[in-house]
Structure 1
């Protein structure tokens, strides 16, 4: 551990704080803190001004020319806004921080002592031990279950077995361990911290039990390559620190033919899956209305959320957990329309789908669907649903979505909304996972 006096300008509020998961940038992280903890933030700012100091060193780790804050993001945020109130997310908060800055006794400091840790594994150990107490706003805030889950999904830490330990055992048995250096287990755990990443390399840790989801030989070959890249430091923690980094690395391996292919998938009894049709993601729900309280069923869809999909993630959570389908059908219908368009544009951008700037929603959706179909990610039935999206007389159509927003006489019903979601759910998930 090293305590260093660092310029405030070199400290970066963590856009991937485990309180909220990955957001787009530092500005978004600051806005989230005030959206979710405004009164706590105000109390903390007043306390800092009253005392003229912060009592605990922020925990930071170097990242290029900056230092990312891993613990103390609320304190650092208050200091940044006291230094420059214009960075506050609302006019009212800008006024508040100007008033607090005027109360500061003497010159405002531009350097602050921080605990600097270069080992990210040690950072996570510190975080794991700090966030277990109770707080009242001025001190550290306790992580709730969702925040702890985000931490475990990012780091691979938790009470269950370590995926890195399980992989190392199997590579050792197959005599495929790197010969010169040990595998950095913490980095491997981070890379394979969630089921969608593990499934891509051919394994699963559902229920805390290691399983092969693809042919063992093909999977071990992929794991051996990953072990080599990590142990040789060709790939380091900074390369796979966030979702985009993990996806980018796995995409690279897939492009090189290293990852198990669909033809390597195995059934639960361990036998190879025999099929004459291209493998694809199975439907998440039948295309029939179901009775539920929210539009999106509260289950795991296997999504990973990079910071660039911050708004997509927020809308998804509102539709999955917060908006009652029967009490708020108008709000749900509008957000469904927005989610479909945002997810579609994400896929068009990330997959490089060729569209014309004047193409309407239905045309863009059809072109994206054709791209998915050509990649064997959806079948003919799903493609037919997408093609019918252009037809105004269909329930699942662009015309229906537009009426949700623009027609004063078109009232969405929970049954129509669930039918639309169930018909398009698989495609929306694929759009978001690209």
Structure 2
């Protein structure tokens, strides 16, 4: 670890900061900070100008001839915008920073003392111990539950079970451990930090235990290859630092036929039914069961296993509005429009990522083409494909025409019941599209 004066222009605001998850680029990361922490950013900028310096050196890591900021993104953003106020995302903030810049005696420095840490795993260890208080925006903002989840999903730190330890034990028991080389556990944990990627390799973490979702010999073979690649340093931390890196590596393994396929999936047997079950005794009288709780948001608050790469920044924002913010009974019109947008962007993402040829601009046709391709890949079953074929019919509630009328018809009013029925019907397609 070293401390050195670095040019502010050589520092890159982290597009994959755990505050927001992966975004498209530095500009999007700067915009997110102001859109979601405007009061804190203004308070911090005032404090920097008043003090004439930044007290805590940002934590950075080399990336080519630049340095990515891992701790201190708000500080560095304030310095960048104070130097060039036009980088602020709107006119009001540009004026605010222009005025502040004039008050800074001597003006902002073009260099800042930084803590340089080339070891990305050590960077995560430092981040894990630092975030404690916000001090009204002058200090570091405390991570909320979503930000902590982003950190855990990206790094694997803080999970109840060490995936790397479990994998190492099972490979050792099968006599398949990497020979003469130590397995880098932190890199393994990072690669398999989320269920979306664990499921591709053929296992899941359930209640703190590793459970196979595909045939054990096939899964062990895949894990052995991953362990060998990591142990031999053919794949290093920088290669799988973000979602795209992890996906690219697993895609290569899949192309080489090393990951489990649908035919390797473990199908749980149906429970056996006794031939002559004993009659049930009469149930004791009790108070009537409470009515089931109605859904508050369109998308239920469960983990759908979507990795969320930076290119899906807008789609993720729409998803979170539908999952956490917009209430079905209060915002049915906004929800109906966003559901239509979410479906179209999800379908387009699948077409783009898979390079699927679709010769139609109609949403219903594109959705059906995607569903057929998902069926060929054994991601959805024949029954669901049959339902998607009905999506083109105009005389059904579950149809593209219904979504179209939600937007364009002045007489067609969405109801919470209709919207939840539509989401329940489309969820499988949308989630599968966003996993590519």
1:238-387 → structure 2 map (5 Å cutoff): 238-267=238-267, 291-356=294-359, 359-387=361-389
State the partner residue of 2:274: none
* CA distance in 2 between partners of 1:408 and 1:11 (Å): 51
Aligned position for 1:276:
none
CA positional deviation for 1:213: 2.0
Equivalent residue, structure 2, for 1:394: 396
Larger radius of gyration: 2
Matched, 1:51 2:78: no
The corresponding residue for 1:150 is: 150
Q: Tell me the TM-score normalized by structure 2.
A: 0.92
The CA deviation string for residues 346-402 of structure 1, in whole angstroms up to 9 with x for no partner, is 00100111123x521111112112211222222222222222222211111121111
Partner residue in 2 for 1:285: none
Aligned runs of 1:149-228 on 2, under 5 Å? 149-158=149-158, 160-228=160-228
Q: Is the 8 A contact 2:23 2:311 kept in 1?
A: yes
SS of structure 1 residue aligned to 2:135 = coil
* Deviation by residue 1:34-80 (Cα, 9 ceiling, x = unmatched): 11110110010111111110000000111122211110000000001
Aligned counterparts of 1:260 and 1:344: Cα–Cα separation in 2? 25
Unaligned 5+ residue runs, structure 2?
A: 270-291
Q: 1:405 & 1:66 partners in 2: Cα distance?
A: 46
Contact kept? 2:59, 2:117, Cα under 8 Å: yes
Indicate which of 423, 428, 431 corresponds to 1:429. Answer: 431
Deviation at 1:159, TM superposition (A): 5.1
| Contact persistence 1:82–1:98 (CA under 8 A) | yes
Tell me how far apart the structure 2 counterparts of residues 134 and 160 of structure 1 sit (CA, whole Å): 27
TM-superposed deviation, 1:323: 0.6
The CA distance in 2 between the partners of 1:64 and 1:178, in whole Å, is: 31
Aligned partner of 2:272 in structure 1 is none
* Long gaps (5+) in structure 1: 270-288
Cα distance between partner residues in 2 of 1:290 and 1:414: 14
Between the aligned partners of 2:229 and 2:246, the Cα distance in structure 1 is 13
Match of 1:284 in 2: none
Which residue is 2:33 aligned to?
A: 33
TM-aligned CA deviation for residue 268 of structure 1: 6.0
Shift of 1:108: 2.9
Q: Work out the CA distance in 2 between the residues paired with 1:112 and 1:52.
A: 12
SS at match of 2:113: strand
How far apart in 2 are the matches of 1:85 and 1:207? 49
TM, length-normalised to structure 1: 0.92
Deviation, 1:316, is 0.6
Q: How many residues align structurally?
A: 414
Distance 1:268 1:163 in 2: 23
Residues 58-103 of structure 1, C-alpha deviations (whole Å, 9 max, x = no match): 0011112221111000000000101111111111111111111111
Deviation at 1:134, TM superposition (A): 5.0
Q: Report deviation, 1:224.
A: 0.8
Task: After TM superposition, give the deviation of residue 265 of structure 1 in Å.
Answer: 2.3
* Alpha-carbon separation, structure 2, partners of 1:108 and 1:168: 51
How far residue 267 of structure 1 moved from its aligned partner, in angstroms, is: 4.8
